[in-house]
Amino acid sequence: MRVLVVTAVPVERDAVTRAFGGGTEVLALPGAELHRTGAFDVLAGGVGPAAAAASTAFALASAFPAAAAPSPYGLVVSAGIGGGFAPAAPLGSLVVASAIVAADLGAETPDGFAPVTALGFGRDRFTPPPALVREVASATGAAPGPVLTVSTVTGTAERAAALRAAHPGALAEAMEGFGVAEAAERAGVPVLELRAVSNAVGPRDRAAWRIGDALAALTEAFGKTAPVLEGWHRHDH
């Protein structure tokens, strides 16, 4: 089974590929590079859900251009660093998404925010395969729980509190998971999201961020989870 891993930026992509050792082959795609090592293709697809969806869809389409051909990928993974909701997801910890949630897709109303589903159309979440989530959590020590996708990173305590109230149990926020999931869904491929926590969700304090530690945790996580992903089959429950 081949696995497509989509990060936002090259430094995250490189953190993932370091887990697999040497021998990376770079394949040129229009506007992007696909870094292939073993069973894993790793792509830095851009920041935000729109860029993530477009780059993931393009990579999937490029991999199997014939309409009748099955996807060569058995899994798509959204991966990178992100913000963690304290105290459940402290700096340097890992989170694997039990749900990938579009936290700001909807409308503001006099009664507060209404998700797109409350407006009568669309969807606002994807559910990764529960058995795979459990296996990755066991292999890496990652905490399983909802991961929020936002287009605007949280920068205040008030916004963090509002997100927690709207999404009880949410462990982290990032900017790409839902976009990756949208593209994977259209290709009929399961999706997973794995995040290393670089900062706390809330007031922006750059001095407190631990990006280097989070990238190192991401590398370690993929080293541990690679055998799980390579051995996983879609019929597993």
Residue-wise pLDDT tens digits, 149-184: 999 999 999 999 999 999 999 999 999 999 999 999
DSSP string, 15-64: HHHHTT-S-PEEEEETTEEEEEETTEEEEE--SSHHHHHHHHHHHHHHH-
Amino acid at 161: A
Domains of the chain by range and CATH? 2-231 (3.40.50.1580)
Which residues contact residue 231 at a Cβ distance below 8 angstroms, ignoring those fewer than 6 apart? Answer: none
pLDDT at residue 236 in the model? 57
The H or E element that residue 81 is part of is strand 73-84
State the pLDDT confidence band at 68, using cuts at 50, 70 and 90. Answer: very low
Predicted TM-score (pTM) of this structure: 0.92
Cα(168)–Cα(146) distance, integer angstroms: 9
Cα(176)–Cα(142) distance, integer angstroms: 19
Residue 66 has pLDDT above 80, yes or no: no
Q: Locate tokens 């999404």: which residue?
A: 167
- Residue count of the chain, please give it: 237
CA distances (Å), origin 164, targets 35, 88, 120: 36, 12, 23
Sign of CA dihedral 185, 57, 128, 86: negative
> Token digits for 133?
């989530």
Residue 209 has pLDDT above 50, yes or no: yes
Q: What percent of the chain has pLDDT over 90?
A: 74
Q: Locate tokens 């090259």: which residue?
A: 10
User: Among residues 74, 98, 3, which one has the least CA distance to residue 43?
Assistant: 3
For the segment 205-210, the average pLDDT, to the nearest whole number, is 89
The C-alpha torsion from 174 through 78 and 5 to 33, rounded to 10°, is -50
Residue 70 has pLDDT above 70, yes or no: no
Strands 32-37 and 40-44, bridge-based pairing: antiparallel
pLDDT digits (tens, 9 = 90+) for 12-50: 999 999 999 877 888 888 778 899 998 999 999 999 999
Residue 145 has pLDDT above 50, yes or no: yes
CA distances (Å), origin 119, targets 108, 109, 112, 124: 11, 11, 13, 11
